[in-house]
Amino acid sequence: MTDDCIFCKIVAGEIPAEIVHESDTTVAFRDMSPQAPTHVLVIPRSHYPNAAALAAGEPATAAHLFDAARAIAEQAGLDKGYRLVLNTGEDAHQTVFHVHMHLLGGRPMGWPPG
Ligand code: AMP
């Protein structure tokens, strides 16, 4: 737990979020500013600033993020596909420095991303 981290506070239940999935190592909740009909953030309970730090420090939990995303996509019926995004660093538009996987689905998407 990092005191000034908003996602640590969601994990601790100190600020509200619409939680859609939980495991021993992960929590998933709806993004407050959804960019698609389904827009969920999947995060580790432990604080790591970005995907690279999580992969180095807790690789099993990094895999758990993907498994949680699979379960959420199945539950949401995203049979036609979905996108997983891990913005890493300033140039990639990371704004919250507790690693989070965006799960976006429910509409067709373009490529390349903006
Ligand atoms: P990123 O730009 O990849 O760091 O994404 C951060 C995401 O966190 C954005 O899509 C925000 O809308 C979302 N977000 C920030 N604070 C909250 C919150 N308290 N509850 C839900 N989503 C949030």
Per the CB < 8 A criterion, the answer to whether 84 and 68 are in contact is no
Q: Is 16 in the pocket of ligand 1 (CB under 6 A)?
A: no
Q: Is 17 in the pocket of ligand 1 (CB under 6 A)?
A: yes
CA gap 104, 60 in Å, rounded: 23
CA gap 62, 9 in Å, rounded: 20
Q: Sign of dihedral through CA atoms 84, 90, 93, 99?
A: positive
Q: Is 90 in the pocket of ligand 1 (CB under 6 A)?
A: no
Task: Please tell me which residue in 21, 47, 98, 100 is annotated as part of the active site.
Answer: 100
Q: Which residues of the chain have pLDDT under 70?
A: none
CA gap 79, 45 in Å, rounded: 28
Q: Quick one: tokens of 54?
A: 């999580």
User: How far does the centroid of ligand 1 lie from the alpha carbon of residue 32, in Å?
Assistant: 6
User: How far does the centroid of ligand 1 lie from the alpha carbon of residue 104, in Å?
Assistant: 13
Q: Is 95 in the pocket of ligand 1 (CB under 6 A)?
A: yes
pLDDT at 1: 73
Active site residue 39: no
pTM (whole model) above 0.85? yes
pLDDT at 2: 80
pLDDT at 114: 83
How far is CA 95 from each of CA 26, 76, 89, 92, 107, rounded to the nearest angstrom?
A: 20, 26, 8, 9, 24
pLDDT at 80: 97
CA gap 105, 25 in Å, rounded: 23
pLDDT at 29: 99
Per the CB < 8 A criterion, the answer to whether 34 and 46 are in contact is no
CA gap 92, 64 in Å, rounded: 23
pLDDT at 93: 95
